[in-house]
Amino acid sequence: MTSGDPAQPRRVDRAGIVIAALLALLAVVLVWDARGLQSAAMYGMGPEAMPVVVASGLALLAIGNFIDALRGNLPARESTDPVPVLLILVGLALLIAIIGFGGGFILATSALFVTTSAAFGRRAVLVDSVIALVMSTLIYLAFDRLLTLSLPAGPLERLL
Amino acid sequence: MDTFAALAHGMAVAVQPMNLLYALIGVFLGTAVGVLPGIGPALTVALLLPVTYKLDPGGSLIMFAGIYYGGMYGGSTTAILINTPGESASMATALEGNKMAKAGRGGPALATSAIGSFVAGTIATIGLAFLAPWLVDVAVRFGPEDYFALMCVAFVTVSATFGDSPIRGLTSLFIGLTLGLVGIDKLTGQARLAFGVPELLDGVEVTTLAVGLFAVGEALYVASRRHHTEEKLEPVRGSLWMTKEDWKRSWKPWLRGTMFGFPIGALPAGGAEIPTFLSYSTEKRLTKHPEEFGKGAIEGVAGPEAANNASAAGTLVPLLTLGLPTSATAAMMLAGFQQYGLNPGPLLFAERPDLVWGLIASLFIANMMLLVLNLPLVGLWVRLLAIPQPWLYAGILVFATMGTIAAKPSVVELSMLAGFGVLGFLMRRFDFPIAPVVVGLILGPIAESQLRRALAISLGDPMTLLQSPISATLLGVALIALLAPFVLKGLGRFKPNED
Amino acid sequence: MFRFPACLVGAAVALTLAAATPAFAQQLELKLMAPAAPGGGWDQTARSMQQALVASGVARSVQVTNVPGAGGSVGIAQFVNGAKGDGNQMMVNGFVMVGALAMNKSPVTLDQVTPIARLTEEIQVIVVPANSPIKTAQDLAAAVKADIAKVTFAGGSAGGVDHVMAALFAGAVGADAKKINYIPFSGGGESLAAILGGKVTAGISGLSEYEGQIKSGKLRAIGVTSEKRIAGSDIPTFKEQGIDLVIANWRSVVAPPGITPEQRKTLSDAVEKMVKSDAWKEILKQKGWEDAYLGGDAFADFLKKETVRVTDVLKSVGLVKS
């Protein structure tokens, strides 16, 4: 990652160019998707008009962002620490996987709680796990029993 | 005057001690359930409605009103405290409200939101009592072309959320517009940008996007910068209560928010989002403290919250006079009426004035109870922010995902939430404003379908937009609002510098 | 299992058997899926069933789950794949699902589920503003025949019951259904405003939604879609005006594929008992729903016919590619 150094404001911003490219790509996807639509039996404007308008806007913005990036006049950025971000993302991935494979609400949210807490610098995994399990069990009971809204159930929930 | 007598009678019923107790219980339950993420006011009312079945009609109605207002206020509380708006209408509140909470001003933010809701709710309820029949005639004249013109006004004012760079703001807005295209096209039933995934056919849920961008994105961003600055949250800095200055800065936004919220809420397709954004951008333009916007300006909480509440009262206009439930919450109100085998509609005011005025009186009382219950709770709510950072953010993430799990427990929806979280993180990192994305998602689809409806009715003739006087006026307003800053700048250049 | 002397069968075996074959309705522990978000019509139907099934003693417990998405397409896919052969699960569905499955090219269809019963239905109506020159269904038919593009119909979502009905109307009066100018609105509120404001020629909706306006004289009902005139109502049916248009927005309940005939009978009996209970009648009254119970093979037949009819209409208006 490039870090914008205020001392050299004219340097090309590589991240900015990637952003511009992504916007252009998005515009292409929109037009490609809109081509598959049929404006059957409609009076006035068809379903493909708006995607094309949005795509044109995105294309123009891609150019604008590209020019900004070439000139290097993007706001300065501070360096980031990728480890905590990855930890939280792992937590979210765990949550989705546990829900997806029927592990239930309590395990899933506990996993997210513990990884996030670790990402913010805590190392007491065991204590956090206990807190997470108690909290998510209480939430589960509140939703399931009091509000009769069913959250995803897994092995733990079936014990309750 | 009839109206006064009827209202007085309704009041007399509502202030009986037992009924006051019901109101208090209703407000408490509504707030308690409303703060749960993913559970907006409509669902809160739906879930708690059975509780009211067991009471006599008067008590049931009043508890119902309490639940309704409690649910609304609960949604704003999470928006302010943990940046997790429970529904799209409290999104504008989160913008400044959460910044205030982070700066140790959560107390005043919650207070101005509660008092603003009260003021707006009261004024709007009075408006409901006296203006409903007249207002509804105007509201019904709004056709698709007029709604489209109203959207144009809203789009112009969106720029208030753009930050310093128009290119970046527009980029965010267009990402939102793109997301708004996802799903089944409302007018032809064809799928756009769904790529064969059935879960995408219903489009992107506003709350999923808002919670992903705001709450998850922020947690990622804060985590990534921990090594720079240990962000320390002080739950209370300065006064827990609104200072004299806060009052001075709040009362006008309350009133202006009400002026936006009530009439637009009364429009059958008006909704609560547009008035809250209009209020936000108005306050941003009018404020004497523009430097505070984006860092936690109290006007940015006071205005949108008032607008939100006033629009909720506004939706009662078409509900009571036409029997039109124009929002999910209003549909639940309808369910409340049906408990007594009543169908709101043009005949309701004539046939059962006691119930109508009973309800309106109950709304007054419930509004008051909300204030009584929640102002003392502000201190407690704010202390939540004193939880150590790892637990606080872990808790926020659990709460944020829980809303999605409760509403749509699918892997696709959760992946979208996580994806929007990453998007929110990257946008923060590369300094793109967040709010326009959500605004684009909300306004884009409405503008598109209203325009296409208008064109279908006129068989493709775009002149229909100028032939309607309402639409022509609104388009004129939008054009002026768009050009005014440039013109003023231009004029400023010719002015000789007198200093 | 009660045929066996208790001494021959261990308690544990008896328990497992009891769980596997719910021989008595009182022991039913049902799971009921509402393929929609909490609060909507299907959800309310499911929760009302839950209430009535338990209150009338037909089932010991009923758990409602919500699987929202795309007019039920997401829910039915999960139901057909996840509940296959499970005699303790049911799903609520209705007219809208038929069109939604066809339009969304769903790989799962209603042929795959086991029909149990139709529960409720709502009669549809066409209305015009009070000051409209159109007075009868024949007036509207004449207008449609004269210039179909200029007759705008306001109603609910594309491919829903209102849309299908507009196409059926055009077809029934001999116009080209493909050319109807149907304008979908989200929710009855918005379309009603468009009708009252005179922005569109006519509006289509469930009768109850416009009842207040019709009674107060702001809207004129030019016809209802029931077979016979509704008792105590002075709105003529389309049939008596010489237009063959009979349609209703129905809601029903189905079971998963692959269940045994006994399981199907248990569920059908349970639903029939529920429909006859006072608790259910009380709920129908409270919600203003019309009882339209149709059980067993008659419902299976009905479901097949509706599926064919709706799919044909959607093809004719170009919403489903043939």
Instruction: Note the residue count of chain A.
Output: 160
pLDDT at A3: 44
Report chain B residues whose CB lies below 8 A from the CB of C287: 338
pLDDT grade, residue C2 (50/70/90)? very low
Mean pLDDT of the region A87-94: 94
pLDDT at C102: 81
| HSE-CB of C2 using CA atoms within 13 angstroms | 3
pLDDT tens digits for B345-385?
Answer: 666 666 667 777 777 788 888 888 888 877 887 888 777 77
CA distance B44 to A144: 15
Q: Are residues A50 and A119 in the same domain?
A: no
Mean pLDDT of the region B327-342: 66
Task: List the single residue in A with minimal CA-CA distance to B32.
Answer: A142
pLDDT at A2: 43
CA distance A111 to A114: 5
Report chain B residues whose CB lies below 8 A from the CB of A114: 394
- Write out residues 124-143 of B within 8 Å (CB-CB) of A: none
Residue B129, amino acid: A
pLDDT grade, residue C24 (50/70/90)? very low
pLDDT at B258: 93
In a domain, A56, yes or no: yes
- Residue B287 pLDDT > 90: no
Q: Are residues A132 and A152 in the same domain?
A: yes
In a domain, A140, yes or no: yes
Of the candidates A40, A85, A117, the beta carbon closest to that of B224 is on: A85
In a domain, A5, yes or no: no
Q: Are residues A92 and A149 in the same domain?
A: yes
pLDDT at C187: 63
Q: Are residues A146 and A93 in the same domain?
A: yes
Q: Are residues A87 and A146 in the same domain?
A: yes
Please name the helix (run of DSSP H) or strand (run of DSSP E) that holds residue A87, with its range, or none: helix A82-100
pLDDT at B257: 92
pLDDT tens digits for B125-172?
Answer: 888 877 877 777 777 778 888 889 888 888 887 776 677 788 888 999
pLDDT grade, residue B491 (50/70/90)? low
What are the percentages of helix, strand and coil residues in chain A, rounded to 5?
65, 0, 35
CA distance A56 to A30: 10
pLDDT at B427: 92
| HSE-CB of C246 using CA atoms within 13 angstroms | 9
Report chain A residues whose CB lies below 8 A from the CB of B187: 42, 47
Distance from CA of C309 to the nearest CA of B (A): 18
Q: Are residues A89 and A131 in the same domain?
A: yes
Domain that holds residue A59: 14-71
Of the candidates B177, B398, B421, the beta carbon closest to that of A136 is on: B398
In a domain, A76, yes or no: no
Share of chain A above pLDDT 70, in %: 89
Nearest 5°: the CA angle C2, C3, C4 is 90
The answer to whether the beta carbons of residues B33 and A147 sit under 8 Å apart is: yes
Q: How many domains does chain A have?
A: 2
Instruction: Note the residue count of chain C.
Output: 322
Q: Which of B458, B466, B452, B421 is nearest to B84 (CA)?
A: B421
pLDDT at C3: 37
Tokens representing C131 are 């000051």
pLDDT grade, residue A18 (50/70/90)? very high
CA distance B401 to B45: 22
- Write out residues 6-25 of C within 8 Å (CB-CB) of B: none
Q: Are residues A93 and A134 in the same domain?
A: yes
pLDDT grade, residue C106 (50/70/90)? confident
In a domain, A3, yes or no: no
pLDDT grade, residue B3 (50/70/90)? low
Contact A150 C181 (CB under 8 A): no
Contact A41 C64 (CB under 8 A): no
Report chain A residues whose CB lies below 8 A from the CB of C38: 149
CB–CB contacts below 8 A, A to C:
18
Contact B33 A147 (CB under 8 A): yes
pLDDT grade, residue A93 (50/70/90)? very high
pLDDT grade, residue C80 (50/70/90)? confident
Report chain B residues whose CB lies below 8 A from the CB of C192: 268, 322, 324
Q: Which of B182, B212, B188, B219 is nearest to B200 (CA)?
A: B182
pLDDT tens digits for C7-22?
Answer: 333 333 333 333 434 4
Contact B178 A147 (CB under 8 A): no
In a domain, A62, yes or no: yes
pLDDT at A39: 64
pLDDT at A42: 63
Of the candidates A44, A117, A132, the beta carbon closest to that of B460 is on: A44
Chain centroid to CA C259: how far?
23
pLDDT at C188: 56
pLDDT at B498: 44
- Residue C264 pLDDT > 50: yes
Choosing from A71, A93, A116, the residue where a domain stops is A71
Contact A75 B431 (CB under 8 A): yes
Of B111-120, B362-371, C124-133, the least confident: B362-371
Q: Which of A130-134, B2-6, B266-270 has the highest mean pLDDT?
A: A130-134
Q: Are residues A152 and A111 in the same domain?
A: yes
Of the candidates C152, C190, C288, the beta carbon closest to that of B269 is on: C190
How would you classify the pairing of strands B191-192 and C61-66? unpaired
Q: Are residues A46 and A96 in the same domain?
A: no
pLDDT at C156: 83
Report chain A residues whose CB lies below 8 A from the CB of C178: 41
Q: Are residues A86 and A153 in the same domain?
A: yes
pLDDT at A25: 95
CA distance C179 to C320: 15
pLDDT at C232: 78
Q: Are residues A60 and A38 in the same domain?
A: yes
Q: Are residues A92 and A134 in the same domain?
A: yes
Task: List the single residue in C with minimal CA-CA distance to B460.
Answer: C149
Nearest 5°: the CA angle C37, C40, C41 is 130
Task: List the single residue in C with minimal CA-CA distance to B192.
Answer: C104
Task: Give Cβ neighbours of residue C292 (< 8 Å, ≥ 6 apart).
Answer: C118, C119, C120, C121, C248, C250
pLDDT at C12: 38
pLDDT at A27: 94
Choosing from A45, A71, A97, the residue where a domain stops is A71
- Residue C33 pLDDT > 90: no
In a domain, A47, yes or no: yes
In a domain, A4, yes or no: no
Report chain B residues whose CB lies below 8 A from the CB of A51: 181, 192-193
- Residue B1 pLDDT > 70: no
Contact B269 C216 (CB under 8 A): no
**Confidence (pTM):** 0.79
pLDDT grade, residue A104 (50/70/90)? confident
Q: Which of C260, A60, A89 is nearest to B425 (CA)?
A: A89
More reliable by pLDDT, C274 or B481: C274
Q: Which of C75, C65, C67, C85 is nearest to C106 (CA)?
A: C75
